[in-house]
Each structure stands twice: as structure tokens, then as C-alpha cells.
């Protein structure tokens, strides 16, 4: 039995010593303190432990299991920094060092850092690094399209987010494949979309009928949690659909159309609601309640009456202009009576003002 530093293993108690126990075998064993195990633990008892290097650089075991093992990726908050680097806690007695040389950019106290845990057997220490690509890119990819994986959200990139898949592989999560807001270090379930060489493209939602089946369950659960009626329709903003149902608007429309045809929900102009009778309304095919929009699945919006098309150009271009004639039944208008012409007043007949005329004077030479 070989003991691997920085990993969680189940080891048998090999020997009872003065201050504790030896775990493993005669050829390869590790010390664990007496307070770590129950009193009167006998040899042969198997114990789940994590192995690490203590202050004297000796390998030691503890029953305090961390959230990160060697070769795995996790997101942790920086506790403190000094001339050696920055320190994080993974849940064990000793904090883990991120040396300055292993930082992509300088880490400040309180900042979240995405790291991979590594073993340095020469210096007998465990340390972390933020240079993930150096240690993850060369691995063989065992996934195929449709596989379910666990993703750890990494830094932002132009097309969306970089993710760490199952703590061992680097992938990309496109922005249009995000059905919810994500944050650095968050662990979420995902599905493989494409594998090309060393590149993995993932999504937060399934494909095909599995995707629609999940969407139907989400819609029904959401209706039940909101009194059987939800104001979501064809005019709802896609971001609101994503926020409330954690799915794209396209998926929502397809799933809602399927539930309507199954007699489980009713589609109204304002939203969707439970179909208590289980019967599909008569004549829904004629009203085209679920009109198919190009590239966007069935629509929840009721179809509007088609507009009258304008006549073709050839029908009216060559026709002469004919003014509209008054209807014979129109009421005749009375001619206006001519008013007597008023005589115009000449300048001599205008009344003269009593004010004295002002004389103009010019200053200057």
C-alpha cells in the first residue's frame, strides 16, 4: 500500500506508538496523533485520513478532510500575504502557500483565487498555483458529447467563461449557453457539447428531448410554486425567462408548446396557467395559437389577423387619375352673400394726429 501526500485515503492502523498510531504498512506508513482517533483504537481498524507535511517537513495524517486534494482545482479566498506569497485555507490545520512565482497576477488579501493543489516532494511541501493551463492542458480527454460533468467557474473570456471540468480539465462555457448568472469558483452541473482536440465546449443545459423534458418539469414546478399562473409569454424579455426558469426563451417556448398539446397548461395573451380540465380548447389549430416562428420554436403569442396586401404595382401604375366626385345625396351648401364693397380711404381722408411732428437733427460735421 502506497501513501500519496495531499490526498484522502483509507488506511489501516498498523501499530500503536507512544503518542499516537502508525497507519499503512511496515514498508510505507504515516503517523497520526492519538487525539485524532477514538480511544483504544486497535490495529487493523481502517481510518479515512488526509496526509500532509507538518512543520518539520515530515508526513503526517489527519482526520480533518479538506475540500481540495493534489491535482484538483478549487476557488479560495486569500487570507494573508508576505514575502513568500499568499496563503489560503483548504480546511486543514496548515494553510497552503501560493508562491509569488506561481501567481498569474499579484493576489491581494480577501481576493478569490482559482488554484490547483500540487505536491513538491523535493522540498516536502504542498503548495498551490493559479497557473492552471500549465498543469491541465496536456491531459487526455475522456469525454464525449452529452456527458454530464461538474464545472468550476473560472475567469471571464471574450466568448463567456473558462471552466474547470471535474477539477482536471479546462473547457469553455459560451455566453449563450448560460442559463443563469455564475460567479468565480462556483460549482455547477454541466453537459459536454463538443470535444475538439484538447478543447472542450460545455453547456448548462441538456440537448434534444432530454433538454425539453427537463424544461417541462421546471415549468410545471414553477407554476405549482406560484399558484398555477405565471406571466410569461412571447413578449417576455429573454433575460427574465432565464432568470425565473433558468432556461433560454427558445427552450421555454418549445416546452410550453408541448405542455399545451398534452393538455397540462393553457396559453393566454398574458401568460401561462394550469389546465385544470386537461382538455385542449377546440379550434386552437385554426387560431394558430402556437405559430411556428422561424428558428425559434412554437410561439406563445396568439396569431394576429393577416393584414390586407397592397395591390400589385402593375394594377395601378398605368391607371389615369380620377378625382373623387361628391355624393349626390350630399347636402347642398348655400352660396355666400356678397358683401358691399367698402370704399378705400385715401391718405388725405385719414384723420390727422394732434401730436407735433418731430424734426430730425444730425450730429457731426
Sequence ranges of the domains in the chain: 8-62, 73-131, 137-203, 208-298
Fold of 8-62: OB fold (Dihydrolipoamide Acetyltransferase, E2P) (2.40.50)
Per-residue pLDDT band for 241 (boundaries 50, 70, 90) equals: confident
Fold annotation for 73-131: OB fold (Dihydrolipoamide Acetyltransferase, E2P) (2.40.50)
Walk across the sheet containing 229-230 and list its strands: 229-230, 272-274, 265-267
Q: What topology does CATH give the domain 137-203?
A: OB fold (Dihydrolipoamide Acetyltransferase, E2P) (2.40.50)
pLDDT band at 277 (very low <50, low <70, confident <90, very high): confident
Mean pLDDT throughout 92-121? 90
Specify the pairing of strand 199-203 against strand 125-129: unpaired
Print the SS3 string covering 198-238: CEEEEECCCCHHHHHHHHHHHHHHHHHHCCCEECCCCCCCH
Does 73-131 match 208-298 in CATH topology? no
Residue the block writes with cell 373623387: 324
- 32-56 confidence digits (pLDDT tens): 998 888 888 888 899 999 999 988 8
Task: With a cut of 60, say whether residue 222 has pLDDT above it.
Answer: yes
Mean pLDDT computed over 329-333: 56
Pick the CATH number of 208-298 from 1.10.3480.10, 1.10.10.10, 3.10.129.10, 3.40.1170.10: 1.10.10.10
Query: How is residue 34 annotated by DSSP?
Result: G
Mean pLDDT across 148-152: 89
Lowest mean pLDDT across 73-87, 144-158, 348-362:
348-362
The rounded mean pLDDT for the chain is 78
Neighbouring C-beta atoms of residue 41, cutoff 10 Å: 16
Q: What contacts 24+ positions apart, CB below 8 Å, involve 140-148? A: 141/169, 141/195, 141/198, 141/200, 143/169, 143/192, 143/195, 143/200, 144/192, 144/195, 145/192, 145/193, 145/194, 145/195, 146/191, 146/192, 146/206, 146/207, 147/191, 147/192, 148/189, 148/190, 148/191
Model confidence at 288, in pLDDT bands (50, 70, 90)?
A: very low
The whole-angstrom separation of Cα 302 and Cα 322 is 41
Overall average pLDDT of the 129-154 stretch = 84
Report, as an integer, the average pLDDT of 80-102. Answer: 92
Pairing between β-strand 169-174 and β-strand 199-203 as defined by DSSP bridges: parallel
Q: What is the mean pLDDT of residues 24-28?
A: 88
Amino acid at each position: 500500500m502506497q501513501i500519496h501526500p495531499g490526498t484522502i485515503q483509507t488506511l489501516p492502523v498498523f501499530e500503536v506508538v507512544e503518542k499516537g498510531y502508525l497507519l499503512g504498512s511496515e514498508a510505507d506508513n504515516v503517523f497520526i496523533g492519538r487525539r485524532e482517533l477514538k480511544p483504544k483504537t486497535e490495529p487493523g481498524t481502517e481510518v479515512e485520513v488526509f496526509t500532509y507535511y507538518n512543520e518539520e517537513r515530515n508526513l503526517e495524517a489527519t482526520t480533518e478532510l479538506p475540500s481540495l486534494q493534489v491535482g484538483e482545482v478549487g476557488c479560495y479566498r486569500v487570507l494573508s500575504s508576505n514575502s513568500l506569497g499568499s496563503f489560503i485555507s483548504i480546511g486543514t490545520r496548515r494553510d497552503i502557500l501560493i508562491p509569488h512565482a506561481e501567481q498569474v497576477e499579484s493576489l491581494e488579501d480577501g481576493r478569490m483565487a482559482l488554484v490547483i493543489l500540487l505536491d513538491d516532494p523535493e522540498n516536502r511541501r504542498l503548495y498551490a498555483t493559479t497557473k492552471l493551463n500549465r498543469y491541465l492542458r496536456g491531459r487526455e480527454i475522456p469525454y464525449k458529447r452529452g456527458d454530464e460533468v461538474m464545472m468550476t467557474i473560472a475567469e471571464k473570456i471574450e466568448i463567456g467563461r473558462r471552466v474547470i471540468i471535474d477539477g482536471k480539465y479546462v473547457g469553455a462555457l459560451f455566453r449563450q449557453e448560460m442559463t443563469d448568472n455564475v460567479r468565480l469558483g462556483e460549482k455547477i452541473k454541466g453537459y459536454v457539447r463538443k470535444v475538439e482536440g484538447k478543447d472542450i465546449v460545455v453547456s448548462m443545459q441538456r440537448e434534444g428531448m432530454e433538454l425539453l423534458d427537463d424544461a417541462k418539469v421546471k415549468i410545471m414546478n414553477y407554476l405549482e410554486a406560484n399558484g398555477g399562473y405565471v406571466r410569461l409569454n412571447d413578449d417576455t424579455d429573454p433575460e427574465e425567462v432565464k432568470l425565473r426558469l433558468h432556461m433560454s426563451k427558445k427552450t421555454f417556448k418549445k416546452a410550453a408548446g408541448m405542455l399545451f398539446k398534452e393538455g397540462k397548461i393553457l396559453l393566454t395573451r398574458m401568460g401561462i396557467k394550469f389546465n385544470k380540465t386537461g382538455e385542449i380548447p377546440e379550434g386552437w389549430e385554426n387560431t394558430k395559437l402556437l405559430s411556428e416562428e422561424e428558428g425559434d420554436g412554437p410561439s406563445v403569442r396568439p396569431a394576429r389577423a393577416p393584414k390586407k396586401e397592397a395591390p400589385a404595382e402593375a394594377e395601378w401604375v398605368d391607371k389615369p387619375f380620377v378625382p373623387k366626385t361628391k355624393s349626390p345625396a350630399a347636402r347642398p351648401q348655400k352660396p355666400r352673400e356678397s358683401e358691399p364693397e367698402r370704399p378705400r380711404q385715401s391718405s388725405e381722408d385719414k384723420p390727422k394726429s394732434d401730436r407735433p411732428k418731430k424734426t430730425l437733427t444730425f450730429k457731426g460735421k
